A = this chain, B = another copy of it.
Amino acid sequence: MSLCWERIAEASLRNNSRLCVGLDVDPQRLPEKIKAKPDPIYSFNCAVIEATLDLVCCYKPNAAFYEAQGAAGVDTLVRTIQFISGRVPVILDIKRGDIGNTATQYARAAFECFRADAVTVNPYMGLDSVAPFMEFPGKGVFVLCLTSNPGSADFQLLPEENPLYEQVAVKVRQWDEGKGCLGLVVGATHPGRIARLREISADLPFLLPGIGAQGGSLEAVSAAELPGEKLGVVVNTSRSVIYAGEGKDFVVNVREAAMELRDRIGGPVNDT
């Protein structure tokens, strides 16, 4: 098993939490108090992290929100990951996919520049677009499988018999044999499909977005679990935690929202 999966599992046990907080920061939604700071997104992230560090098993910044701020935003992302580093693992949500030599550059960006512990990637271009990410020892790679958004129906659910997302799960499991570094992104908005996906995928860890603003279901979590202390599922939520407060004491609301959600999701200790 990849060191990254082990470290997420450790943090999950330590904090009795399957919660991953998504650091997807829209500068327009920051509390007024933070907007006045020199690097508001970084200040906001640090405040959210300090308020939730003992409640999560990992964090997941989505690169898009940082790239939208240009080179300065990229620098903010580097420093945010540095701020978390060594405390809990960081999944950098990039959803990249490109031909081999280009994917190598994306993998270098994610693991060497940003120093992420894990990434998300897109399977559309097949194994040689994913393989370069698997060559970094100790890192984790979540492959998009069944996503949480309405557009997941456009291609992933087709054809009805043997749909694309199941084909992806089957191949990802094969690619992972003897490596133990791959996982799947499985949206909590498809609770009825997760039990079968768990069967197909054996022990691959699932990253479950879609709880919170996207309306996903907690049933999905129990269907995705693995027995014992194995890392079965990490539940990501962003907006419903990070924007839980607006006033001066927004961190109090952020912490309450994270704690409430962590407890609703349930931790690994409850199951053993």
Contacts and interface: CB of A to CB of B under 8 A. Distances in A.
B151 A109 contact: no
Contacts of A269: none
A173 to B, nearest CB: 13
Nearest to A187: B99
A78 interface: yes
For chain A, the bracket of interface size reads 35 or more
Interface string A134-166: 000000000010011111111110110010100
Contacts of A215: none
Contacts of A78: 70-71
Contacts of A129: 149, 151
Given A70-B74, A99-B148, A147-B99, A126 B64 contact: no
A125 B99 contact: no
Contacts of A155: 123-124, 126, 164, 167-168, 171
A101 B93 CA distance: 14
A68 interface: yes
B149 A64 contact: no
Nearest to A102: B64
Contacts of A72: 71
Interface in A60-83: 62, 64-65, 67-72, 74-75, 78
A210 B61 CA distance: 33
A152 B97 CA distance: 11
Interface string A103-116: 10110110011100
A165 to B, nearest CB: 10
A128 interface: yes
Interface string A1-44: 00000000000000000000000101000000000000000000
A262 B106 CA distance: 29
A136 to B, nearest CB: 13
A127 B105 contact: no
A122 B97 contact: yes
A149 B125 CA distance: 7
A50 to B, nearest CB: 24
A19 B101 CA distance: 21
A102 B95 CA distance: 11
Contacts of A113: 67-70
Given A122-B122, A130-B151, 15 more contacts: A64-B103, A64-B105, A65-B105, A67-B106, A68-B105, A68-B108, A70-B109, A71-B71, A71-B78, A124-B156, A125-B149, A125-B151, A125-B156, A155-B171, A158-B167
